Amino acid sequence: MNLKLICISAVFGLTSQAALAETQLEFVLGAGASNAPAYIGSDENEWSPTGILLPEYVKIGRLSFGSIPGQPEKLGFGLRGSFRVVGERDSSEYDELDGLDDVDAAVELGFGVGYEAERYRVFVDVRQGIGGHSGQVAEFGGDLKWSVNDALSVEVGPRVFLGSDAYFDAYFNVTDDEAAASQFDAYNSGGGLVSSGLQLRATYELNPDWSVIGTYRHDVLRDDAADSPIVEEGSDRQNSVSVLLTRRFSLNF
């Protein structure tokens, strides 16, 4: 059974007895701009619009996940949703990629488990790719947290990213046909470690509902990912920054 079916089965199993009960959903939605590598392994960055969707609290009947709105942050172990969008790779836009197949934009959906303390957090997220890649990915990380004042908070911590064979097929491998049509040698690697890095995030609360979030992330592609001819032509150092304006929403139904 693949990860997507496991996620669906878990959701239905948890909510079958509470399907008709009151549901409360608290989430953060944001929009802004990011400067990130043009594609995975590129040595050039591009500006583009970006967004964020962060579920903060879900209550279905007697089941609840996350921090209760308006109350202190929930500490200890907890479940969380995980979501990421990977932009498309259009080979016609980059001379160095001429001859490679295009890769459509991908959406990664999944869940995570973490431990939240007053001054730090640790977590692991797993996601299933839909669209540009059909692989599975996992991310391990942790953050140290500081409250500079009532409005400004800062988080910083390491990240480790892993991908399955299908993830590597989409972004790092080169088929025989692609090799014949491009400057690259054929390359075939299995899944495993993709990158390790560091993330720094600052959040400034304008009021209880509105915030500005700035994020800087530095990743280094590792092992088979770094050895890909696509990455060797580009760079194994991947830097990105983003700034978003966010708003907190609450729904009851």
Examine residue 90 and state whether it is found in any structural domain, yes or no.
yes
Count of domains observed in the chain? 1
Q: Domain residues for 234?
A: 30-252
The per-residue pLDDT for range 113-165, each reduced to its tens digit, is 999 999 999 999 999 999 999 999 999 999 999 999 999 999 999 999 999 99
Examine residue 17 and state whether it is found in any structural domain, yes or no.
no
Q: What is the pTM of this model?
A: 0.83
Contacting residues for 199 by C-beta, under 8 A, at least 6 apart: 141, 143, 155, 156, 157, 158, 159, 215, 216, 217, 218
Examine residue 50 and state whether it is found in any structural domain, yes or no.
yes
CATH of the domain at 172: 2.40.160
Examine residue 10 and state whether it is found in any structural domain, yes or no.
no
What's the rounded Cα separation, in Å, for the pair 17 and 127? 26
Examine residue 5 and state whether it is found in any structural domain, yes or no.
no
What's the rounded Cα separation, in Å, for the pair 139 and 17? 32
The per-residue pLDDT for range 185-212, each reduced to its tens digit, is 999 998 999 999 999 999 999 998 999 9
